[in-house]
Amino acid sequence: MSDDDTLVGAVLDESREKMHKAVVHAQGDFSTVRTGRASPAMVEKLKIDYYGTPVPLQQLAGFSVPEPRLLVITPFDKGSIKAIEKAIQQSDLNINPGNDGVVIRLAIPPLTEERRKEMVKVVKHKAEEARVAIRAIRRSARHDLEGLEHDGDIAADDLERAEKELERVTHDHVAEIDKMLQHKEQELLEV
């Protein structure tokens, strides 16, 4: 393998890694969008004001899903129940938490047709943001590759091969986002 190949390989590897991270990020975003089912992902990233410090809920409590529409949050520190409850009420979940002094229960109401359609729009928007991020990574990598050719580090035909590989990698990651979107849409529209 020549220096040319290692330079091109480094640019492509970095792009692959960044695109993969964009897909993983989108997956995390999708998991926060509420379907009609209970899931810890709905609340685990919620910031709780814990003695003056914003802390993600997953660091303050355990979660269980005893029924498909019930999420039970068990705080490690019973003194944080009020703060957790307040954060849930102020979030965009539109769910009123119930607390018995030991655990917080979130009864997930079934989604209305209108709310399902709103959630699909939200998910489509998040998918488009992910696609834009992936295309920005491609643009940056292409710029790096063209810079290598311009500086004489790689030949024009190496640039062409690298750009074709970059296109393939981009297409694969965008297809992954589309597949996740399709799955989430089906999940949301399922009654």
Domains in the chain: boundaries: 3-32+113-189, 40-107
Query: What pLDDT is recorded for position 1?
Result: 44
Q: Read off the pTM.
A: 0.71
Residue type at 51 in one-letter notation: Y
Say how many C-beta atoms besides its own lie within 10 A of residue 47's C-beta: 12
SS3 annotation, 51-116: CCEEEEHHHCEEEEEEECCEEEEEECCHHHHHHHHHHHHHCCCCCCCEECCCCEEEECCCCCHHHH
Please name every residue paired with 134 in a beta bridge, in sequence order, or none if there are none: none
The domain 3-32+113-189 having CATH identifier 1.10.132.20: the answer here is yes
The Cα 27–Cα 13 span in angstroms is: 21
Residue type at 97 in one-letter notation: P
H or E element that contains 177? helix 156-189
CATH topology assigned to domain 40-107: Gyrase A; domain 2 (3.30.1360)
Query: What pLDDT is recorded for position 165?
Result: 94
**Residue-wise pLDDT tens for the chain (191 aa)?**
455 578 899 999 999 999 999 999 998 888 777 677 788 888 888 899 888 899 999 999 999 999 888 999 999 998 899 999 999 888 877 788 998 989 999 988 887 888 788 888 889 999 999 999 999 999 999 999 999 999 988 888 999 999 999 999 999 999 999 999 999 998 888 76
